[in-house]
Structure 1
């Protein structure tokens, strides 16, 4: 992953987008405000939504010992769905936060507060992305379709969470890790307890990385009365991050044991190496954490794509053992 400092606002660019992203370089000018509204110029969110899907699919295949062409479709459909639903969710978030975003330095350049996209146009764009996601969801079994429909609930609630709780990151975790349940069910046809434990482990991971991310806005959030775990933990954030790190590793490890207990000892050990190695990556992030370094916080946050890919690689290798 390329770690770049935030780019200056020009020609509608958003301040915390990745420099040289494909939207700014290649997308037709008329589509750029809408793609920026979907955060297509900041792909880390799509990765963070997608990776729990791939965890769930990989552990489901470990448990059943099955792999077919349909599983390749599940993996691809999750990628397409993650891109679309992340875009729809971000559009909804920016609609509900349009007054708040204009008061925060990092978000004031987003398309709605900057005046590049109106609320009605944003609502229409959100609907298009949601309907395309529904088309993909309908290729799954009925149990997975039902789970996909339920996922809309935490997505709808999340933008309002920072108004009524100091723990909005929990609601983000509920939404962003739903794919672990969905992909597991798309493969197996029913929900199993390892998938639920994996889901909770993903929520702990979200608490880890989004607390780091939220420290970028802590001062602005305090001025406008927006709540977050970064503000709640304050100078004690490092200790809380250690707890979330431990919870992530332990819960994902328990999910691995539940899914791979009937596989060979070597396969189980290799699969357990996924959360173990991910934990070391999170420990590295914790060592880099400096609440006063906004650019560093953004780099750490973006590095979670690599952290989340580590279990996928270990689970894939374990399947062949």
Structure 2
């Protein structure tokens, strides 16, 4: 078994070569940065985006309740910026923790899959004990971030750990593990909203439901990278379940996401902010459907490209929501 993830070079892998932080950090940290996927930040971005949307939409909803005076509006803006910054740091930490949990569950399976065989636990670069200690450190840092939130945000953050721990099991017991991932990966939408408003609302739940459907779609694309290996080792996924009908399933999940997001927006914003945000929603809807059309799901590299490109869905609508929030101030 390899002692260094660089010693194992599968033909197709999403593990990056030495990145800038590998060059500035001590060599002994390399297995840990790879374990928490710092060389592949796309997962952290996709984890962060629902939280960013939640904070921005909650701010719109608060502005719409009887209006917000100029001074209060500025204070609200600073609150959103603070929460957005905390959520970004928290996304990298908790995405890292989720990856450690996933790899601890899957280390034996990962060693049999071409794309994942070079991961630190699968390759033997670090031990289970070392991974457990690292996980405890990440969870401790995540708790420090969470404690900066309001009570509802803290409670939701704690609850989110349950599906995070159980997700790896889903690949073994259901043909739809992407549905479980969607529940897990989008708690940020709830936490971001609650961190601003400290309440549970219908718009917040609609946003979460839309993010669930979005994740179901883009992670089905992601799952197509491993479908040949998954058949051999018995891992289940929507890529295998839908097969040749995958593009239809992805389009439907994206359409459901867009409908939920529209109703969340309609409840949270009105006037000019609503229309600016709606333009952003239309743009990302068009983009999402075009991405499905152009993606070759039988190509692992093209599936990975399309998966990574979904971050732009998040950034574009996030920019529209932010612009709509700034203009009235």
TM range (shorter): over 0.9
Q: How does 1:192-207 map to 2 (within 5 A)?
A: 192-207=201-216
1:138 aligns with 2:147: yes
1:62 aligns with 2:71: no
What displacement does 1:20 show?
A: 5.5
CA-to-aligned-CA distance 1:249-287 (integer Å, 9 cap, x gap): 111111100101xx32x2211111222111112112112
Q: Distance in 2 between matches of 1:232 and 1:176?
A: 21
8 Å CA contact retained: 1:56, 1:198: yes
8 Å CA contact retained: 1:207, 1:244: yes
Q: Distance in 2 between matches of 1:12 and 1:26?
A: 23
1:122 aligns with 2:122: no
> Greater shift after overlay, 308-317 or 88-97?
308-317
1:178 aligns with 187
8 Å CA contact retained: 1:23, 1:36: no
Count residues with an aligned counterpart: 310
2:303 aligns with 297
1:165 aligns with 174
What displacement does 1:19 show?
A: 5.0
Q: Distance in 2 between matches of 1:18 and 1:244?
A: 30
Q: 1:20 to 1:269 in 2, by over 3 A?
A: farther
Q: How does 1:11-22 map to 2 (within 5 A)?
A: 15-19=13-17, 21-22=19-20
8 Å CA contact retained: 1:13, 1:109: yes
Q: Distance in 2 between matches of 1:23 and 1:267?
A: 39
Q: 2:268 aligns with which of 236, 259, 270?
A: 259
Q: 1:278 to 1:173 in 2, by over 3 A?
A: same
1:278 aligns with 2:287: no
Secondary structure of the residue that 2:120 maps to in structure 1?
A: coil
> Greater shift after overlay, 22-31 or 220-229?
22-31
Q: Distance in 1 between matches of 2:296 and 2:8?
A: 30
Q: 1:194 to 1:104 in 2, by over 3 A?
A: same
1:48 aligns with 2:38: no
2:248 aligns with 239
Secondary structure of the residue that 2:123 maps to in structure 1?
A: coil
CA RMSD of aligned residues (A): 1.5
Q: 1:268 aligns with which of 269, 274, 282?
A: 274
What displacement does 1:27 show?
A: 2.8
8 Å CA contact retained: 1:12, 1:116: no
Q: 1:109 to 1:189 in 2, by over 3 A?
A: same
CA-to-aligned-CA distance 1:171-201 (integer Å, 9 cap, x gap): 1111111000001001001111101000010
What displacement does 1:70 show?
A: 2.7
What displacement does 1:294 show?
A: 1.0
8 Å CA contact retained: 2:111, 2:117: yes
1:155 aligns with 164
List runs of 5+ in structure 2 lacking aligned partners.
64-72
CA-to-aligned-CA distance 1:114-169 (integer Å, 9 cap, x gap): 11010000011011001101011111111111111001011011011010101101
CA-to-aligned-CA distance 1:46-86 (integer Å, 9 cap, x gap): 00000000000010111112424332211111001000000
